[in-house]
Amino acid sequence: METLEAQRAALEASELSSVELVSSALARAESEGRSLGAVVGLRAEAALAEAEQSDERRRAGETRSPLEGTPVLLKDNMVMKGEPTTCASRILEPFVSPYDGSAAQCLQAAGAIILGRANMDEFAMGATTENSIFGPARNPWDPERTCGGSSGGSAASVAAGLTGFALGSDTGGSIRQPASFCGVVGMKPTYGRVSRWGLVAFASSLDQIGPFTHTAREAAWVLEAISGHDPRDSTSLPEAAPALESSLTGDVAGLRIGLPREYFVDDGAEPGVIDAVRRGVAELEAAGAQVVEVTLPHTPYVVSTYYLVATAEASSNLARYDGARFGRRADEVRDLDDMYRRSRSEGFGAEVKRRILLGTYVLSAGYFDAYYRKAQQVRTLVRGDFEAAFEACDVIAGPTYPEVAFPIGAKNDDPVSLYLGDIYTVSANLAGLPGISLPCGQLGGLPVGMQLLGKALDEATLLRVADAFQRRTDHHEQRPQGDGSAHAGNKA
């Protein structure tokens, strides 16, 4: 009963209760979830009480949504009242939230049952979930390999069947990249589509909450539940929650799929990844879509631009963790300056410190114009690239990441190579556009992700294309066996 759709069907047919479903999920999260390093905190008593309330609603015919009674995990940077939120950082180990964030409120309003918290890179800064005080989360396809990051615990939980869906956050690919590594669907909505109220900020102009699921249809259910205008978030768009499921017709005839020439160059992704994506595009073409070539000429500059903007905003956002108001405070300090220095030195990990230092540098008086202001100008050019490309196509397709999941620890000494791996994902965050990763094949027994990018607020078309692809293929039905090999029958 590992998919959200199967759980929903079983609940509606009274084949099992929400209490039974949640009890089973809690047991697996406690055993397999902890073993994988994917789960870092559970709220068992509260979850079971909420499951009982869901069963009562169902018996009374008061089902709230397709998510009614189903279990979910939240990335450990989304707050819930009375629950710890650590962002996988020592500096927030003692913090317990005094309020519910929008993500938790929306899920509970939809009848979903929040099991607890999923592992992540510290403050969402990383691509492997190795930058975590809890240790790395492991890939269910091969526990010696990374599940990606920064939302790696959420992706691994869905891939392993611990929950039918989970939430993550995406600042530069932190939903889509782990979805690619773990062989699940991961969606980053349009910036402002989902409220960031209660999401601990990394880079405020880039962060966005989104779902992990097995199918596009399930992603539509979750996105409908968590979307909508929130006056508590000044960047929340004044748009009602979209009706997405009705767009999943299976028909893509006449839709134009754009292939950016910059995403398919010889020195880009590994050849096996490109081949799998091309086969995925061919399936859409066989379904009646038209494939056209487009160009995104500023692609060579997007990684540099992203890491200037994101680190500058991180430096500003993380200045609040000073030991004075909440979170970790160093012991036996000499004075205020010593408290600031030691609390932050002891509380932050190496990657977070690296990004704070870089962001502080680019915001400094002598370098602001040369770096941060210039990066914002390039960001405008990147947005213009997409506007021009979407005049020729409806959806853009390409790889999600240049390679498949690599061994844990393989890139610890080369952070720049991890940054460069974000080449296909950061553009959507810089431009505020929606993107989705879905499994499109395998390479060496490990999943390959195909990314689809869409126009602002056009998640419906992205999900329509993704759903049509999944109706023609079975890549989303493949499951890890625990030894790094896939079930038989995977289509090339």
Catalytic positions, please? 75, 150, 174
Residues counted in the chain: 492
d(CA 98, CA 357) in angstroms, rounded, equals 30
β-partners of residue 74 are 117, 167
Q: What is the DSSP string of 338-357?
A: HHHHHHHHHHS-HHHHHHHH
Helix (H, G, I), strand (E, B) or coil at 28: helix
| Rg of the chain on CA atoms, in Å | 21
DSSP 3-state of 398: strand
Is residue 155 a contact partner of residue 177, using CB atoms and an 8 Å limit? no
CA distance 428 to 419: 15
Look up residue 172 and give its two tokens: 């530069």
Q: Nearest Cα to 167, choosing from 115, 129, 122?
A: 115
φ/ψ of 416, rounded to 5, equals -65, -35
110 and 64 in contact (C-beta within 8 Å)? Answer: yes
- Of 213, 209, 210, residue with least CA distance to 198: 209
Q: How far is CA 405 from CA 145, 152, 179, 196, 235, in A?
A: 6, 11, 11, 29, 34
How far apart, in whole angstroms, are the C-alpha atoms of residue 153 and residue 477?
20
Under 8 Å CB-to-CB from 492, ≥6 apart: which residues?
A: 276, 279, 441
What does the angle CA 177 – CA 183 – CA 189 come to, to the nearest 5 degrees? 50
Pairing status of strand 113-118 against strand 39-42: antiparallel
Residues 6+ away with beta carbon under 8 Å from 386: 296, 396, 427, 431, 433, 453
